[in-house]
Structure 1
Amino acid sequence: MNFSTNQVYPRIRMTMPSLTNTEKRIAEFFLTPRTMRKEVTINAVADRLGVSTSLIVKLAKKLGYDGFKELKAELLMVENEKQYLPDQKLNRDDDCAQIVQKVLNNSLNSLQEVLSFSNVPKIEKAARMVINARKMSLFAVGGTSVIAEDFHHKLLRIGIHTYVPKDYHMMIMTASLMSSDDVILVISHSGQTIDLIDAVNEAKKSGAAVVAITNNYNSKLTSLADCAIFAPASPEPILGKNGTARLVKIALVDCLFATVANLCPDKTQIAIDKTGIATSRLHK
């Protein structure tokens, strides 16, 4: 499946955090599988949701479309794909086999979406920032901390040293000591986490460049970043932001890592050989 049609579903999901409650209700309707059909009119949607047609048009424009007609066409185009499988939610009576199928299908959908998303120029830009940085730090909190640690481990294998502060105070102090030659990578699903925003503001004061990986188009983090890489994922609490969201971010970090490694192949090979020899005795 190819979401080349402006990536309508990830676009809706990534705009949702900045919407009003009523706008979110309309957006959730558009995200519900098979609700959009050729005969559906804007008046029918407005009546069903108890909102005005003007609010639906306003939301469509917030999503980057000319109006309801263009948004409807994009939704229909994706749903008419033969391989289209909508994201699925857990039901209380699901057995293990159903749960496994839903988790894996949703994971495949998310990776297909991010593959079609326009992140390639941003990943290449971020990779060059990583290579040219004097010092690099990785900022993340909560569930995304493991992604930062994973990236730190990968980069160390190819000879790039990074620092992962463990708490807010360490992030702020690290940020205050940066310079215009330094880079931070910030990973945040919401792009609104106060600890991270404070640290990014401090880093910007020091002149450091900021790379962000986030799900939120309109977040504070996005506005502060010199390079924002978007990781679309469902807001659903179990299969979404605590499931596929992490998978998508790890995949994007892997893309960034591989690009960095490929931009300096000789240095990468030397470092891989050294670190491989050093750790080989641990795998007897």
Structure 2
Amino acid sequence: MKKNAVGRGERTRPGTTVPRPAPPEPAALAAKVRTMAPSMTRSMQRVAEAVAEDPAACAALTVTALAERTGTSEATVVRTARLLGYPGYRDLRLALAGLAAQQASGAAPSLTTDITVDDPMAEVLAKLTRDERQTLTDTAGALDLGQVEAAVAALAAAPRIDLYGVGASSLVAQDLAQKLLRIGKVTHAHTDPHLAVTGAVQLRAGDVAVAITHSGSTVDVVEPLRAAFDHGATTVAITGRPDGGVTRWADHVLTTSTARESELRPAAMSSRTGQLLVVDCLFVGVAQRTYDTAAPALRASYEALAHRHPSREPR
């Protein structure tokens, strides 16, 4: 049984062996490389970058030939294939052939071009738009809808919801918090790590804690989620690293994708796009499940805000 799909009385603790998920579809390979590359060794990164940038050429190579092309070893190539989600190199080659065919037909995009310091604003806008669109598409493809539905069900029923995030992820946590508050859900977005842990130890069964961390290893986010887990709350991780430490303490893992990081496009920019898509899905799902109470609460919040900003009448 998967760690992040267990029942409330059957939580799988760290160290339990879980089944390997199905290999990613060919079109999702480039996104998988972008997501996993930062956590790879440099030699594994060379293999991953090679297969993502030229899938057609790499699909024709044996494991020995690809190792020679990337200046690595056969063992490194096999480890990279497995880290990307494939049982072995043969399965990776099949995915590469499929991706190459899709790119040749225009059904799958190639990796985007980095923004350069000399790009005119029109080109910057075009590249950002292309990258944002691709990040949304990749995130939608990477999400396990069963996990999303389970997280929505837990949030809809929760008497209290705590959210954890720092840096750019804290903005996403605050965005979800204000949305949930407007439909009557008791929600706290913690940005102070001490208050986050203090609040986490007060959570109980039925409450929900949500950690948002692209790296999956931010200590100030992982620690309160662990405390919430230990005290019986349902835990959710929104992360770009499904192998990150945060998932050890998550009942439900929602994986986001990211565009390739560059000098003028840091990871915080691209990761935020995928995170916002996920939290919007969670909010809409909760609003749907609690519509009888959510709709009146939304109307009340609109009316309250309208009184603070009345329309100006002509003199």
Report the TM-score when normalising by structure 2: 0.82
Instruction: Return the alpha-carbon distance in structure 2 between the equivalents of residues 173 and 268 of structure 1.
Output: 29
Instruction: Return the alpha-carbon distance in structure 2 between the equivalents of residues 192 and 118 of structure 1.
Output: 20
Instruction: Return the alpha-carbon distance in structure 2 between the equivalents of residues 165 and 71 of structure 1.
Output: 41
1:124: Cα distance to partner? 0.9
Is 1:74 aligned to residue 68 of structure 2? no
Is 1:9 aligned to residue 30 of structure 2? yes
1:175: Cα distance to partner? 1.0
SS at match of 1:7: helix
Gaps of 5+ in 1: none
SS at match of 1:253: helix
Deviates more, 1:35-44 or 1:268-277: 35-44
Counterpart AA for 1:200: L
Q: What's 2:242 paired with?
A: 217
Alignment match of 1:127 (pick from 140, 149, 152): 152
Residues 48 and 5 (structure 1), Cα distance of their counterparts in 2 relative to 1, 3 Å cut: closer
Instruction: Return the alpha-carbon distance in structure 1 between the equivalents of residues 173 and 165 of structure 2.
Output: 6
Instruction: Return the alpha-carbon distance in structure 1 between the equivalents of residues 101 and 124 of structure 2.
Output: 25
Instruction: Return the alpha-carbon distance in structure 1 between the equivalents of residues 194 and 51 of structure 2.
Output: 42
Instruction: Return the alpha-carbon distance in structure 1 between the equivalents of residues 93 and 209 of structure 2.
Output: 39
Counterpart AA for 2:258: A
Q: What's 1:280 paired with?
A: 306
Instruction: Return the alpha-carbon distance in structure 1 between the equivalents of residues 226 and 310 of structure 2.
Output: 43
Instruction: Return the alpha-carbon distance in structure 2 between the equivalents of residues 55 and 162 of structure 1.
Output: 45
1:36: Cα distance to partner? 3.5
Instruction: Return the alpha-carbon distance in structure 1 between the equivalents of residues 84 and 155 of structure 2.
Output: 31
Alignment match of 2:108 (pick from 80, 84, 103): 84
1:255: Cα distance to partner? 0.7
Alignment match of 2:81 (pick from 34, 38, 60): 60
Instruction: Return the alpha-carbon distance in structure 1 between the equivalents of residues 134 and 33 of structure 2.
Output: 15
Counterpart AA for 1:192: S
Is 1:262 aligned to residue 293 of structure 2? no
Query: Residue 36 of structure 1 contacts residue 72 of structure 1 at CA under 8 Å; is this kept in 2?
Result: no
Q: Which string of whole-angstrom CA distances, capped at 9 and with x for unpartnered residues, describes residues 248-272 of structure 1?
A: 1101110111111111221111111
Matching of residues 231-250 of structure 1 within 5 Å: 231-237=256-262, 238-239=264-265, 241-250=267-276
Identical aligned residues as a percent: 27
Deviates more, 1:189-198 or 1:32-41: 32-41
Moved over 4 A (4+): none
Q: What's 1:206 paired with?
A: 231
Instruction: Return the alpha-carbon distance in structure 2 between the equivalents of residues 137 and 185 of structure 1.
Output: 6
Is 1:179 aligned to residue 204 of structure 2? yes
Instruction: Return the alpha-carbon distance in structure 1 between the equivalents of residues 89 and 114 of structure 2.
Output: 26
Is 1:49 aligned to residue 70 of structure 2? yes
RMSD value, Cα: 2.1
Number of residue equivalences:
282
1:17: Cα distance to partner? 4.1
Query: Residue 237 of structure 2 contacts residue 247 of structure 2 at CA under 8 Å; is this kept in 1?
Result: yes
1:246: Cα distance to partner? 0.6
Instruction: Return the alpha-carbon distance in structure 2 between the equivalents of residues 150 and 221 of structure 1.
Output: 21
Q: Which string of whole-angstrom CA distances, capped at 9 and with x for unpartnered residues, describes residues 82-126 of structure 1?
A: 143322212233222221111111111111112222421111111
1:34: Cα distance to partner? 5.7
Counterpart AA for 1:67: G
SS at match of 1:97: helix
Q: What's 1:162 paired with?
A: 187
Alignment match of 1:21 (pick from 42, 58, 64): 42
Gaps of 5+ in 2: 1-23
1:158: Cα distance to partner? 1.3
